[in-house]
Structures are given as structure tokens and as C-alpha cells.
Chain A
Amino acid sequence: MGRWEYFLKRVLLMVPIVFLGTTVTFLILRVGPIDPAAAIIGPSGDTEAYAAIRDSLGLDQPLWIQYAEFMRDLLTLQLGESWVVVRGQSVWELVGVYGPRTLWLGFWSILIPIFVGLPLGFYAGLNPNTLADYIASFGGIVWRAMPNFWLAVIFVSVLTQSDALFGFSWGDWLVETQIVTPPDLSGLWEPTQFLGALKAILPAALVLGSASMGNEMRIGRTAVLETKNANYVEMAKAKGVPGRLVVWKHMFRNALIPLVPVITGEAFLLLGGSVLVETVFAINGLGYLFFQATINGDVPLVGSLMFLFILLSVGINILQDFLYTVIDPRVGYDGGA
């Protein structure tokens, strides 16, 4: 099977996945015991208004009609309006407000671990079985085992009181920022604004990236150890290629392939795990919005957000397959899916 043919097959496979995932969401929301009309009307319990709302929402129609409308609206990207959280606000507008914060958080929590984890791993691999290697490796293992929400709690407490604890005020350092607040993402092209937004998101990004930082360190270490004695590296050294170049040109590339699933996996964790980190740091991103929509019984918002999450993860999967197809020439030859 050709590589691109294989890739195309993977993409086609995503169609039933989106369909099935959305169907499951519908079943949970509409067939489950949740009552959206009661959530809208609140605890006052006016029967007439309740019936009117049920009627206007089409909740008394046969289930299959509701299902058809639900799927039609989502697949044509008509995400509807929020009923409870911000009543009457369209979901697209809400995503426009909350989405960028999550994207900003996600971008840095993928980037920072790569630039910290990989070099540390390379260093550990180049000096195997030394004290530094043990410290780095063990640190990576422990760092990876830390629950994100707990780490976030610790970060928030220590940073908000850094002045009293260390005599160093994180909030006033470089640019003045709040610690528990959504980052201000306006005017990112101005250096101070950019720095402020970056600094505001940094602790949260470190927490959310903690798992993959450990993984990336391990991958970097393994890649160096595997290639250190490979013929082509010996050859390059014998040719007189400088050490730094050997590392970056010959070893770094080998670390790339196992890095792909870690990065895409990280993106998955981001979608799910951002709830807790966003709640602790009060970032008010998509995860936080989803959580609020759920506990308030905001059915259309929950459904639309879940649909967007499904689209996103399917998109990440396609991106992963695309990267594999480009980077790894072995993909698709022996039929391994």
C-alpha cells in the first residue's frame, strides 16, 4: 500500500468516528435523565412556562427527529446558543472569547516541554550513568507522576506568596501580572503585552506540560543512547564533524519519530486536562467553559463544545498520521495501523 493511499484511508476512517462520537454525545444529553427545560427555568418550577420551554425547544418531538436535527445542526456547524451559562449568547461567540486562552495555554504547554525536556534528555543520554543522569531521569519520572491539579495548586500558592516566602515577587517580576486570572491576549505584537501574556500563562503551561516533559526527556535520552554507537555516528565523528553537529544532525532526527505521538498525545491531554488547570489558575478557557456548561445543565453548549472537541481530536489524529507519513518512510508498508 502506498504511503499516501494509506494516509487517505486513515482520513476516511475519521468520518464514522466523528459521526459515532457525536451520536454518543446526543444519547447522553437527550436520552439520559438530564432535563434541559428544568435547568433553564431554575428552581421556581412554573409548570406553564416549563411546558412552553419544552415545546419551543422541541423536547417533546420523537427522539429520531431530535437526533436528525441535532446531527444536521452540528454537521453544518450551526452550534446554536447557550441556554443557561450566558443565556442567548451564540456558541461561536463564546468559543471566540474562551477559545484563544486555551489555545495560548496549549501552544506554550507543548513548546516549553520540548525545549526543556529534550535537551535534558540529550544531556542525560550523552552522560549516561552519571549522577546528573540519575538525577535527571529520576526527576523526570517523579515530575511525570505528579497530578496536574495538585501541581497547579502548589504553583498558585507559592507564586502568589513568593514575596513572603522567598523575598522575590513573581507578580512584579519583569512585567506586572496577576497569577490567578485569564491572560490578557490583546495586542500580542507589542513586546510588553506579549511578555505579560507569556508570563501569565507560564506556570499553567509548565503544569499542563509536566507529563510530556518527562516523556520527552526519556525519548531524548533513549535516542542518544541508541544512536551513540551507530555506524553513521562513528563515521561522522571519524570524518571530523564537530560534536554539536553530530548531536543535532544525526541524533536529533532519530528522536523526532517517537516525539510525534508524544506531542499529539500532549494535545489530547490538553483538551481533557485543561479543565482542572484552567479552574485552578482561573484561566476561563474552553475546558472551564465546558465544566460550567455541564454543571449548569446547558445542553446545547455542552453538545456543541463536545462536538468541537471531537473535531479537534480527529484533526490532531489526522495531523499525526500526516506527520508520520512525511517523516517516517516505513509507515503503511507492512500494513500496521
Chain B
Amino acid sequence: MGADTDVGSGSTRTGEFREEASRPEGDRDLPLSERITRNPGPAATWAAVVAVLIAAEFGAIVSGLLSVPPWGWVGGLVPGVVEPVAALLATVAERGAELPTITSRSVIDNTGYQTPSGWEGTTLGLSPAVAWALRVAVIYTYSFTWLLVGWWGYTLYRRHYRIPDWTPRDDVVNRFRRHSWGLFGLTIVFAFVVMALFAPVLGPTTVDQNIENPYENRIDYYNDETGQVESIFVGEANGDTQSRGQGDNNVGPLEYDQYDRFHPFGTLPDGKDLFTFMASGARVSLLVGLTSLGIAGGFAMVFAMLTAYYKGLVDLGVVIAGDSIQAMPQLLFIILASFVLSDTWIAEVYNGGLVLAILFGITGWPALWRAVRGPALQVSEREWIDAAKSYGQRPRVTMQKHMLPYVVGYFLIYASLSLGGVIIGIAGLSFLGLGIEAPVPEWGRAVSAGQPYVATQSWHISLIPGILVVIIVTGFNALGDGVRDAIDPESDIGDGGNENVAAGGGA
């Protein structure tokens, strides 16, 4: 699958691309690399811009890619051979993280303290609030630049290098570009993904310093009484910045605490920073959600292909298997299974994230499969499938080349809808104290922590996470709607039975 099937990648530029400029007739049969060599101009400009963007974040990209697998655990699996390699990769990841990037915490530093003469420790002596806002702005500008550059690359490919003037996908992309509700969804979803990706640098402080090891880190602050700069354990400072509703015990959104730390979303009841918690929680939610979607989507697509191709008994078998899983209420099943597995090795991986992903995947595929089963059956009755069969093409190839591309779009619709549901589900489980283990941030736990204070001045603890969930789930729904209208403007799928895909099992 190339850019051709990438139906969701629309963006906000205007203009049509039908009028074709520099596409000589002789290029028809050349491979893409040849076509680029013949007309290197546009590709070179684009590659230069991409190179600049990568260079600006090189260290973060390397360490980001390498720090995703749990190296300690992987190394432990096969001690002899894999361990040194895993250790090496882990070191490379750590080194990469030290390279300066434009979004590094050290480039725009928001930690400091206020002396009578002004701010000390922050970049350019800005106030922590401004410095933090600036860093967030840089991160989002950088990310949305990537989005635009990606779109630009697609249009360049379309105008200069693609052989056909027009493909049906162009219509899909154009329809999506005019779908403002879908674009709204894409923007929200993209912003959420950026929040998850850049979580370590987005927060005004770090998870390690503020949430996981507050008694191993110290901060400096200016003591008004002694007139001295003093240092204190973060844990002790947190003890004085709790948000517990009554009296002085509250640090609300956009407020400084007495140690001159800025809290964009206020603090948790135990005095930790809510924004840092939320950003890191976004990462957990997205990672678990995407993994579970990968698992569920894999099952759903394979079964959809098999049932559409072979029909009959295979179809019946998958119907029974799917219905059996759906007969058990999803949330209850996950509660049960995650409790049963809670003392096993698999519950340790990603602090319980892997178990959750697998469970949401196993329980989620029947709904996804039902959603793509119809389109898969439709395409399996087309003439070209018959033709492929009668030419003796192997079933696997027929399914992959002639059926799968048609179904992928429908899959994206429900993937988008159900991802919101999974995020709600994970939050619901951690609200009950299940799922992701305790010190690791998860949104549901913030709602749970703030529950006693909703109607007090510390309302922010429960309300902000909930509002963010509402915005993000709405974003995923809007994106799903947009993709649906782009792929199949006349369809009425999504009305009725599958609506509940988005509800996260009732969480």
C-alpha cells in the first residue's frame, strides 16, 4: 500500500490538481526511482525540508524509536545473545535523548524561581508560565509543520511523479478535504497524538521528577523570609501544594505554587502536577489503544477476508466465535481477565498496559469484523475476484491484492470510532483501580483522585481529565464520520447497530 490508499491524510490546503504540468509521456513505464531521477527538482526540495525537520529533532527521534520496546524485559528473555544488544540499544536511546533538539526542556526552560530582582533559572528570564507556553507552541508548530509537509509531499507525488492523472482515491481525498467536521476531528486527533508523542517535554515538569521519584529530586526556590535561595525535595514541596478543596489547600489551573512552579492544570490532591500527569497519561492511553486496535484489527481483517472469500462454514464458525466473545460483557470480561492475570509476568510489561491491550484486542475484534464484513462480502462478489480465481491466482494473493484495499477504508472508520471507546474503557478500569499500575499516570485515576473535590475549589482534578476525554472522543468520532463520508458519501453505515462501538463497553 502506498500513498494511494492513505485515505485519511487530507489536510487544509485548497486547490485542485487535475491540471497536470510536467509529466512527459515517455515516463509511463518507469519505476518511481527513475521518474524521480528524471525530474528531481520537486522531490529534492521536499527532501531538504524533511531533512531540516528531522535534524531539528534528531536526538528525540532516535531515542523515541529505540526506547519504545522494553529492553530490560527483552534482554531478560534470552540472556546470552540478546542481552548485550538490548543493553546497547537502550544506551543509544539514552544518549539520543541527551542530544539537544528544538523542543528540549533545556532549550526553553520553564523551571526557576522568583527573586526580588526577577526570574532566575528560566530561559531569558521569562516567567515559567510564558516559557512553558512558548515550548508548547514550538512543539505544536513543529508537529503541524510535519502534517503540512506530509500533505505537500503527497501533492508533489500526485502532480509530478504518479503515472495516472487521476485515481478514485483522489476523489476520496478531495471529499475529505472539504469535510470540515472530519478536518476538525483530524486536528483534534493529531493534537492528541502530539500530546502523547511529546509528553516528556510538554509538561512543566517531568514524570520522573514530580510523580515517580519525588524524594530523589530537589528543586531550588527563593525563600521570602530568609531572603535566600534554598533547595527542597520535590516530595516535600508537593506536600505543601496539595489540592484538597478546603482552605489554602488548592493550586488551581494556571496558578503558581509557593515554590514558583507553574501548574497549567493545577495540582492533584497529593500535590503533583496535573498537566504532566495528563500528558504522560495520554501516551499510555494512546499506546494501549493503538496496540489493542492493531490486535483487534488484525483479527478482524483476516477473518473478514476469509469469511468473504470462503463463506459458508468458515463464516458460520467466525460468527459463533465472535458472538461467544460478545456474549460476555466486555468490561466485565476485562475486569475478570486482568484480575486473573494480575500476578503473572505478562502483567509486568508496560505496567499492565500489554495485558489491557491484548484484552481489549481480543474482546474488540468481533465488532470491527462485523463492521467490515459487509463491504468484504460485497467486494468478493465482483467480477474481478471471479477473474482472479479463474486465472488460478492463489486465494491469499486474491484477498491481499483485490479485496483488502477495498475494505481498508471501512476499517479506518470503525478503528477511529473504537479507539475513542478503548480510551474511555482504559480510563474506566483505572478509575476502579484496575489496569495500569498505580504510579504510572492514567486519566481515570485522576478522575478518581478528584472525586471528593468536584464541588469544591479543587474542581479541576476530576473535571479537566473528563473534559479532555470528551474532546478527544468527539475528535475520533468526527474523524470517523469524515472518513466515512469521504469513502462512501451515500452510505448509511454507522447509523444503528455499530454506534455502540464508540461507547467503550459502557464505561
User: Nearest B residue to A266 by beta-carbon distance?
Assistant: B500
Whether B226 is near chain A, meaning CB under 8 Å from some CB there, is no
- Return chain A residues, CB-CB under 8 Å to B427: 147, 149-150
Within 8 A of B (CB), among A153-171: 153-154, 156-158, 160-161, 164-165
Q: Which residues of A contact B320 (CB under 8 A)?
A: 13, 16-17, 20
From the candidates B466, B469, B506, name the one contacting A272 in the complex (CB within 8 A). B506
Contacting residues of chain A (122-141) with chain B, CB-CB under 8 angstroms: 141
CB-based contact A279/B447 at 8 Å: no
Bin the interface of chain B by size: 35 or more
Q: Would you list which residues of chain B between 442 and 474 have a CB under 8 Å from chain A?
A: 444, 447, 451, 454-455, 462-463, 465-466, 469-470, 473-474
A contact residues around B507 at 8 Å (CB): 147-149, 272-273, 276
Cβ-closest chain B residue relative to A272: B329
CB distance from A79 to the nearest CB of B (A): 16
User: Chain A residues near B506 (CB, 8 Å)?
Assistant: 148, 208, 211, 268-274, 276
What is the CB-to-nearest-CB distance from B335 to chain A, in angstroms, rounded to a whole number? 6
Q: Residues of B contacting A145 with CB < 8 Å?
A: 420, 469-470, 473-474, 477, 502
Q: Kindly supply a per-residue 1/0 record for chain B positions 494-507, scoring 1 wherever the CB is within 8 Å of any chain A CB and 0 otherwise.
A: 01110110111111
A17 to chain B, nearest CB (A): 5
Docked complex: B330-356 residues within 8 A CB-CB of A? 330-333, 335-337, 339-341, 343-344
Also in contact, A276 and B329, with CB within 8 A (given A150-B447, A154-B463): no
Indicate if A34 sits at the interface (CB-CB under 8 A). Answer: yes
Interface presence of A247 (CB below 8 A): no
Give the chain B neighbours of A150 by CB distance below 8 A: 427, 447, 462, 465-466, 469
From B339, B499, B502, residue with most partner A Cβ within 10 Å:
B499
Name the distance in Å between B8's Cβ and chain A's nearest Cβ: 20
B388 within 8 A of partner (CB): no
A147 near B455 (CB under 8 angstroms)? no
Q: Does B289 contact A (CB under 8 A)?
A: no
Given the known A-B contacts A24-B328, A150-B447, are A218 and B495 also in contact in the complex, defined by CB atoms under 8 Å? Answer: yes
For B334, the closest partner residue in chain A by CB is A272
Q: Assuming A145-B474, A273-B507, A310-B327, is B447 touching A153 (CB within 8 A)?
A: yes
Residue B432 is within 8 A (CB to CB) of chain A in the complex: yes
- Known contacts: A261-B497, A270-B506, A276-B432. The answer to whether A146 contacts B470 by CB under 8 A is yes
Which residue of B451, B495, B497, B503 is within 8 Å of A157 (Cβ)?
B451
Could you tell me if B505 and A25 are in contact, using CB atoms closer than 8 angstroms?
no
Cβ of A279: which chain B residues have Cβ within 8 Å of it?
432
Point out the residues of chain A lying under 8 angstroms from B463, CB to CB. Answer: 154
What number of A residues sit within 8 Å (CB to CB) of B?
67
User: By DSSP majority rule, is chain A's interface helix, strand, loop, or mixed?
Assistant: helix
B335, closest chain A residue (CB):
A294
Q: Are A153 and B505 in contact (CB under 8 A)?
A: no
Chain A residues 287-337 with CB under 8 Å of chain B are: 287, 290-291, 294-295, 302, 306, 309-310, 313-314, 317, 337
Decide if A153 touches B335 in the complex (CB within 8 Å): no
Let me know if A90 is at the binding interface, CB within 8 A: no
Q: Is B326 an interface residue (CB 8 A)?
A: yes
Q: Is A313 in contact with B327, judged by CB distance below 8 angstroms?
A: yes
A206 interface residue (CB < 8 Å to B): no
How far, in angstroms, from A325 to B129 measured CA to CA in the complex?
63
Q: Are A291 and B335 in contact (CB under 8 A)?
A: yes
Which one, A25, A33, A310, contacts B343 given CB within 8 A? A33
CA distance A266 to B466 in the complex (A): 22
Cβ B337 vs Cβ A271 within 8 A? no
Give min CB distance, A294 to chain B, whole Å. 5
* Complex CA–CA separation, A302 to B332 (angstroms): 10
A-binding residues in B (CB < 8 A): 319-321, 323-333, 335-337, 339-341, 343-344, 420, 424, 427-428, 431-432, 444, 447, 451, 454-455, 462-463, 465-466, 469-470, 473-474, 477-478, 492, 495-497, 499-500, 502-507
Known contacts A24-B328, A309-B328; 20 further A-B pairs (Cβ under 8 A):
A13-B323, A17-B323, A18-B327, A21-B324, A144-B502, A149-B431, A153-B466, A154-B454, A154-B463, A158-B454, A211-B503, A269-B503, A271-B506, A272-B331, A272-B505, A272-B506, A273-B331, A306-B328, A309-B332, A314-B327
Residues of A within 8 A of B (CB): 13-14, 16-18, 20-21, 24-25, 28-29, 32-34, 141-142, 144-151, 153-154, 156-158, 160-161, 164-165, 208, 211, 215, 218-219, 222, 258, 261-262, 265-266, 268-276, 279, 287, 290-291, 294-295, 302, 306, 309-310, 313-314, 317, 337
Q: List 13 A-B contacts (CB under 8 A).
A: A33-B344, A142-B474, A145-B477, A147-B424, A147-B466, A147-B507, A154-B463, A164-B455, A211-B502, A265-B497, A272-B331, A276-B431, A306-B333
